[in-house]
Amino acid sequence: MGLVLYTAAFVAEAVRAGIQSVSKGQTEAAMSLGLRPPMVLNLVILPQALRVIIPPLTSQMLNLTKNSSLAVAIGFPDFVSVANTTINQTGQAVEGVALIMLVYLFFSLLTSAFMNWYNKKTALVER
């Protein structure tokens, strides 16, 4: 619960900052065209705000992956239990810990690759 609240606070702050980074003139222009507030948010504010939100959100998602290792008893009990059993039976602690590290590396690289792909997709195209 603590990890969820901690991460939610940072994500909420990144989203708030991204939305506030959009000029008030953009909102006023959309309203003058007759768009209703939900449409202004979906069509004008969020597409511009995502360009500001994605980089800190990527960092926060990677931090969440790393911080979850602190909550390993909750997040991956089966995996860590198997690794601990293997370490105890074979005496090969380095290989067991290396396996756990590789799993976290995989999740971190997967998160980073997805967020980089999404960042490139939403980036402005220079002409």
Alpha helices in the chain (DSSP H): 2-20, 24-32, 37-40, 46-67, 72-75, 77-90, 93-122
pLDDT of residue 79: 66
Task: Provide the pLDDT confidence category of residue 78 given band limits of 50, 70 and 90.
Answer: low
Q: Which of 16-30, 62-76, 111-125 has the lowest mean pLDDT?
A: 62-76
Q: The tokens 């960042």 sit on which residue?
A: 119
pLDDT at 40: 95
Domain residue extents for the chain:
2-122
Topology of the domain comprising 2-122: MetI-like fold (1.10.3720)
Q: Sorting pLDDT into bands at 50, 70 and 90, what band is 43?
A: very high
Model confidence pTM above 0.75:
no
CB environment 1-21: b (16+ within 10 A), e (fewer): eeeeeebeeebeebbeebbee
Is the pLDDT at 127 greater than 80? The verdict is: no
Q: Which residue has the tokens 């507030």?
A: 37
- As a whole-number percent, the residues of the chain with pLDDT over 90 amount to 35
Q: Are 64 and 7 in contact (CB under 8 A)?
A: yes
Average pLDDT of span 76-93: 75
